[in-house]
């Protein structure tokens, strides 16, 4: 009897131990709660949660703003760079982290977790630097009436004073966050100011899981494209279907014995259209059997491109509706981006603007006359 009782107790204890063991092995699913405060004017509007780490900034969720508040809840299986936004309205970047995240739409702040507090602090400091640059611009604009002197003075301060401070902020923040998502966020911004070799060095500092993020992979892909289309490399060809159904390739112009100035632009881009007078001046001087300009309209609606061509009275050939095809191929992240290609198809110079563009084209063509 005692033996049976002891045996029964052993079975019971063993069963309980197994149950406890099973309970302990069940994974704890991390969750996030985003609690937001919004202005009353946004009540009834939909606010979206988007994932910046996925290509295309994929929408994760959406809720309605009610009584000046909104709440998102979900599973934080992976810590990622995200944001909340209202169509044609407010936007706040955040780190989608485990725990309770508080959003203030009016102030553009995400807080209440260590990573979000750190991101907000970084964004605040960059905002202060951009405000400082704006103040310098305004002060000099009011002080110096001569356009050339104003530009020379502003460029000098921008290059020698402002840019080093901005780079120091980015580099210090990056070095302190190579093992978390903030490192990838800062690298994305920092890569716009770095050479290809510097980007390689920075990526090598990232932890393995951060380096595997889509955002970082995109940076690496863009950097690889820049290397393939750097000065001294042969141009990379692309073919675009035009609105009338015909196909046009860059090779229809480049590599055929002429110097080609290739202008990546869009109708909505003010600085792009601001370069048109400079290119008209170059075109008037050099157009002929040794030189041509080719406009490549990217990230734009064909009808808007065509309207801008008429408005600006642009005479040179255009490749319309190119969208992201050439910008991905050439690692272009911002426009205008103007490239000079030599008669044999070799890329001679990139990122040309204004007076430097004029002098670079002159240097190449005048020596051949």
Long-range contacts of 99-104 (CB under 8 A, 24+ apart): 99/32, 99/33, 100/32, 100/33, 100/35, 101/32, 101/33, 101/34, 101/35, 102/34, 102/35, 102/36, 102/37, 103/34, 103/35, 103/36, 103/37, 104/36, 104/37
Q: CATH number of the domain at 31-110, please? A: 2.60.40.1120
At 6, is the pLDDT very low, low, confident or very high (cuts 50, 70, 90)? very low
pLDDT per position as a tens digit, 16-47: 333 333 444 444 457 899 999 999 999 999 99
Please, what CATH class does the domain formed by 233-366 belong to?
A: alpha beta
pLDDT the model gives residue 108: 92
Q: Residue range 218-228: average pLDDT?
A: 96
Q: Does the pLDDT of residue 280 top 70, yes or no? A: yes
pTM equals 0.82
For the chain, what percent of residues have pLDDT higher than 90?
A: 83
Residues 6+ apart with CB under 8 A from 140: 150, 153, 154, 157
Question: Residue 267 above 50 pLDDT?
Answer: yes
pLDDT in tens, 94-129: 999 899 999 999 999 999 999 999 999 999 999 999
Give the C-alpha separation, 116 to 93, whole Å: 9
* Segment 46-81, tens digit of pLDDT: 999 999 876 567 889 999 999 999 999 998 777 889
pLDDT at residue 149 is higher than 50? yes
Give the model confidence (pLDDT) of 100-109 as tens digits: 999 999 999 9
pLDDT at 56 (0 to 100): 60
> Which value, in Å, is the radius of gyration of the alpha carbons in the chain?
28
Cβ-based neighbours of 80, under 8 Å, separated by 6 or more: 51, 52, 53, 95, 96, 181, 213
In the β-sheet with 46-51, what is the strand arrangement from edge to edge? 58-64, 46-51, 80-86, 91-96
Report residue 368's pLDDT band, with 50, 70 and 90 as the boundaries: low
Residues comprising the chain, all counted:
369
pLDDT number for residue 77: 77
- Across the range 312-327, mean pLDDT stands at 97
Could you tell me if 181 and 79 are in contact, meaning their C-beta atoms sit under 8 angstroms apart? Answer: yes
pLDDT band at 305 (very low <50, low <70, confident <90, very high): very high
User: Which residues, in sequence order, are bridge partners of residue 153?
Assistant: none
Instruction: Output the pLDDT for position 53.
Output: 74
- Domain extents in the chain: 31-110, 116-229, 233-366
Statement: residue 143 has pLDDT above 50: yes
Q: 240-263 pLDDT, tens per residue?
A: 999 999 999 999 999 999 999 999
2 pLDDT more than 80: no
**Taking 70 as the threshold, does the pLDDT of residue 11 lie above it?**
no
Higher-scoring residue by pLDDT: 220, 368: 220
pLDDT tens digits for range 152-208: 999 999 999 999 999 999 999 999 999 999 999 999 999 999 999 999 999 999 999
Question: What's the pLDDT at 189?
Answer: 95
């Amino acid at each position: 009897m005692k033996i049976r009782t002891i045996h029964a107790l052993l079975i019971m204890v063993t069963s309980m131990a197994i149950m406890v063991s099973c309970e302990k092995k069940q994974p704890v699913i991390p969750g996030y709660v985003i609690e937001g405060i919004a202005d009353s004017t946004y009540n009834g509007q939909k606010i979206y949660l988007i994932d910046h780490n996925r290509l295309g900034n994929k929408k994760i969720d959406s809720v309605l703003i009610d009584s000046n508040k909104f709440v998102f809840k979900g599973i934080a299986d992976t810590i990622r760079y995200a944001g909340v936004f209202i169509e044609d309205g407010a936007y706040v970047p955040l780190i989608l982290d485990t725990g309770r995240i508080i959003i203030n739409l009016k102030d553009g702040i995400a807080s209440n977790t260590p990573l979000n507090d750190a991101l907000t602090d970084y964004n605040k400091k960059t905002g202060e630097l951009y405000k400082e640059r704006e103040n310098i611009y305004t002060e000099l604009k009011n002080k110096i009436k001569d356009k050339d002197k104003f530009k020379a003075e502003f460029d000098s301060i921008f290059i020698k004073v402002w840019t080093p401070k901005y780079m120091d902020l980015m580099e210090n923040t990056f070095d302190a966050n190579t093992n978390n998502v903030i490192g990838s966020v800062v690298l994305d911004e920092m890569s716009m100011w770095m050479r290809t070799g510097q980007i390689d060095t920075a990526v090598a500092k990232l932890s393995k899981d951060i380096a595997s993020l889509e955002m970082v992979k995109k940076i690496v892909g863009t950097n690889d494209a820049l290397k393939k289309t750097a000065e001294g490399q042969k141009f990379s060809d692309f073919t675009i279907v035009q609105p009338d159904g015909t196909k046009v390739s860059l090779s229809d112009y480049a590599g055929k014995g002429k110097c080609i100035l290739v202008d990546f632009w869009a109708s909505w881009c003010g600085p792009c259209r601001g370069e048109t007078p400079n290119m008209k001046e170059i075109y008037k001087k050099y157009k002929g059997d040794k030189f041509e300009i080719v406009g490549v309209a990217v990230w734009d609606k064909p009808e808007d491109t065509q309207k801008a061509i008429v408005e600006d009275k642009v005479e040179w050939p255009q490749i319309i509706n190119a969208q992201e095809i050439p910008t991905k191929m050439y690692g272009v992240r911002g426009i205008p981006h103007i490239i000079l290609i030599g008669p044999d198809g070799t890329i001679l110079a990139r990122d040309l603007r204004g007076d430097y563009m004029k002098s670079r084209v002159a240097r190449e063509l005048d020596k051949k006359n």
